[in-house]
Structure 1
Amino acid sequence: MSARPGAAAAPTARIDIPARMDRLPWSRFHLLVVVALGVTWILDGLEVTIVGALGPRLQDKATLGLTSEDIGALASSYLVGAVIGALVFGWLTDRFGRKLIFFTTLAIYVVGVGLSAFAWDFWSFALFRFVTGIGIGGEYAAVNSAVDELIPARLRGRVALIVNGSFWAGAAIGSLASVALLDTSLFAVDVGWRVGFAIGAALGLLILFTRRFVPESPRWLACHDRIEEGEAVTAEIERKVEAATGKTLPPAEGELLIHPHKTFGFGLIFSSMLGQYRGRSALVLLLMIAQAFLYNAIFFSYGLILTKFHGVPEASVGLYLVPFAIGNVIGPIVLGPFFDTVGRRKMIFGTYVVSGVLLLVTGYLFAIGALGPVSETAAWCVIFFFASAAASSAYLTASEVFPLEMRALAIAAFYAIGTGLGGVVAPYVFGLLIGGGQPWPIFWGYAFAAVLMIAAGIAALIWGIDAEGRSLEEVAAPLSLAR
């Protein structure tokens, strides 16, 4: 049987690695994967929240003396770095494997966070935020690929949502930490916010240590002509699971006949993305843009809304962000299992549309002055209970509806495009709108984000993929599959 176009000829091989991985019961091994890989989002949430909550303090002449526009531009700088990091490391993840890259990207992230603690003006801070963004952008591709390929199919949806939603656990911690960091009785005006970044860098170094226990994806190894390594990794995982559960695993059912290749050319990857999978590509792009615009527009500017429109003292901003973050954490935990039972399409539709409708209502109430700081925070908690699950489902969709050989690059490409269109522009635009001091222009920004969410939800219901409970190879056949 001949090899597929775009790669050198290779003999066929019969593998059962996907079936063996998907039949595994939940064990300590899977918990290790979730903690070692997912904890990055907690750290990211912590330091991004510190930037958001400390926005008003950074405008103080005793610190960096930034403007509202500068705060928005910093968020955009971070997101530009994330876009570049996603594209570069997305390709490298598919080329050199998941494990090498999720070590590298976390190291870059730690460097960026650590340097942020020593920023001396807007431009230095923007540069360090850019470096941090490069690391976190690469993490999205490498980590989501690895999680999907190491977690059993029947649990993949809820685990992916919880991992991506864990960002908000870090946000809650960051919100509380910002209260202490802004307390001038504990830290000098220009010291507290720097301490927050230094702590984040130190924690990141600890995470690097735990990641050495996470193996390379055996699915990736097999498709890249390293079948013996893939078999060995799978056997070791099975041994650990049997030792942890005390039960012998049942036989695996299902094999694949593949043409393994060491590399896969860009021509084959992009022709698949824009040809056979163009419908899926369009859907993922819409989901990514909608959630990126919603989140980045609101989250990066919420501290300014509280201080400028509700008169909340700078030192208390973090207290209002805690319940907001908690709503984001609880959403994926409560709603995640339904993505594996009720189904992907229905749940994506529901979470996106409900988020959009609630945002319209809340934005209007804000514009007419009907909300105070407490009631608006409560409204955001409800909105983002649903929006957090919706945003996480966008990454889940991007990571499971494309073939293994292009999975990381697909995640990276759609994250980059979605973040570039919905994320880089939104914080800067909302910074300008808030700086204008009028509520109605801000409402129209919210309305635009709401319409995007509703449109994306409807598209998911019509053109989405029923991926619940199905192996990754069934959802999207590998490019190396023998025909």
Structure 2
Amino acid sequence: MSRGALRFCCAAPILVGIVFLTAVIVVSQAGLGIGVELVTIGTYISELVPKHIRGRAFACEQAVGFMAVPVVAFLAWLLVPRAPLGLDGWRWVVLIGAHGALFVWWIRRNLPESPRWLAQQGRVDEADRVMRALEAKVEAEYGKPLPPAAPPVPVPPSGRFSDMWVPPYRSRTLMLSIFNIFQTVGFYGFANWVPTLLIKQGITVTTSLAYSSVIALAAPVGPIIGLFIADKYERKSVIVAMAALIIVCGLWFSQTTAAALLICLGVGLTLGSNIMSYSYHAYQAELFPTSIRARAVGFVYSWSRFSAIFTAFFIASVLNYFGSTGVFVFIAGAMAIVMLVIGVMGPRTRGVALEEISH
């Protein structure tokens, strides 16, 4: 063996290790960034919008976010089999998605800080300036004076992690932690496994991908529906109802091979998951005071990320031994726990000020 070849053989494992480590770091950073975004966005929206449109605000935010699902599906279909300008298609998909962050950064430059957070930090004058600016804009849009402000509420000091474990927040923390563990099973158990589950139903690979694309088009429709219903019904009631819809559609999905019915049931599962998504993102941000809101939402939501790590392995194992019927029985069991924990332990929040919910 030549000296150059020997050097390459010795260096190859190191190079592979460096590439792998770099990929892990990049993916981890992206995951950390998105994870922090999800927590911060929910906290920010809940603190900034009026109580009578909180649900619709979350529905609007998620409708825009879920628009990316069919767009990415289309980009993947268009680019992945090709290599424009000599660059692999999948890299183009990633690059296009990453450049979206630049537009988000530009949009956010003029966003006001949360007045509730400013007041909680003792920056009362800044909070007052933000509120006055918001009120002036609303008055200009509506062309009439705003109604009288609600009585002032004492601002609590900065919260600590231990504050999540005293009444009434202890039961809410436990409820949402359990909820997030099991809602992930329903959400990702279907969304990430649609093509495989369709193949198990006897659909060919090519046809299953076409069906999956049609089902993906329904992703933003759930939150769009929320623009009309989000503040008409209690958040907890919507979560329980959508969990029930996922159970019905999922078990039915596992028992049919008719193409049109499979697509309809897949759309029903997607709508149920995404309506539940905007509802619980709004709900968990409402249940804690400003002093611990972001910290508490981050803690309870982190359980959904832990659950997502293991859900794929559980689904794969169940699918291997029990087929698609077993998968949907597994999902139905998880959704039954969601219905029980939210239905029994969840307080009502619709149209209630955050300060009232906190107390």
1:283 aligns with 2:189: no
Counterpart code for 1:392: Y
Quick one: which of 35, 39, 48 aligns to 1:137? 35
- Supply the distance in 1 between the matched residues of 2:59 and 2:218 (Cα, whole angstroms): 14
- Supply the distance in 1 between the matched residues of 2:263 and 2:19 (Cα, whole angstroms): 31
Match of 1:146 in 2: 44
Quick one: which of 378, 386, 397 aligns to 2:272? 386
Shift of 1:133: 0.9
Match of 1:238 in 2: 135
Q: How do 1:8-407 and structure 2 match up within 5 A?
A: 124-184=22-82, 187=84, 191-259=88-156, 261=157, 263-267=158-162, 269-272=163-166, 275-305=167-197, 310-313=203-206, 317=209, 319-365=210-256, 370-372=257-259, 375-407=261-293
Larger mean CA deviation between 397-406 and 292-301 belongs to: 292-301
What secondary structure is seen at the aligned counterpart in 1 of 2:154?
Answer: strand
Q: Answer whether contact 1:221 1:227 (CA < 8 A) is retained.
A: yes
- Supply the distance in 1 between the matched residues of 2:107 and 2:85 (Cα, whole angstroms): 34
Seen in structure 2, the aligned counterparts of structure 1 residues 375 and 412 have a Cα distance that, compared at 3 Å, is: same
Match of 1:430 in 2: 315
Shift of 1:423: 1.1
Cα deviation, 1:148-174, whole Å, max 9, x if unaligned, reads 111110000122133234432110111
Seen in structure 2, the aligned counterparts of structure 1 residues 391 and 234 have a Cα distance that, compared at 3 Å, is: same
- Supply the distance in 2 between the matched residues of 1:375 and 1:182 (Cα, whole angstroms): 29
Seen in structure 2, the aligned counterparts of structure 1 residues 210 and 123 have a Cα distance that, compared at 3 Å, is: same
- Supply the distance in 1 between the matched residues of 2:349 and 2:227 (Cα, whole angstroms): 14
- Supply the distance in 2 between the matched residues of 1:400 and 1:470 (Cα, whole angstroms): 9
- Across the aligned residues of Structure 1 and Structure 2, the Cα RMSD in angstroms comes to 2.8
Larger mean CA deviation between 444-453 and 208-217 belongs to: 444-453
Gaps of 5+ in 1: 1-119, 478-483
- Supply the distance in 2 between the matched residues of 1:230 and 1:311 (Cα, whole angstroms): 58
Q: Which has the larger radius of gyration?
A: 2
Counterpart code for 2:116: R
TM-score relative to the length of structure 2: 0.85
Match of 1:413 in 2: 299
Match of 1:30 in 2: none
- Supply the distance in 1 between the matched residues of 2:93 and 2:55 (Cα, whole angstroms): 33
TM-score relative to the length of structure 1: 0.65
- Supply the distance in 1 between the matched residues of 2:235 and 2:286 (Cα, whole angstroms): 11
Seen in structure 2, the aligned counterparts of structure 1 residues 305 and 350 have a Cα distance that, compared at 3 Å, is: closer
Seen in structure 2, the aligned counterparts of structure 1 residues 166 and 321 have a Cα distance that, compared at 3 Å, is: farther
Gaps of 5+ in 2: 1-17
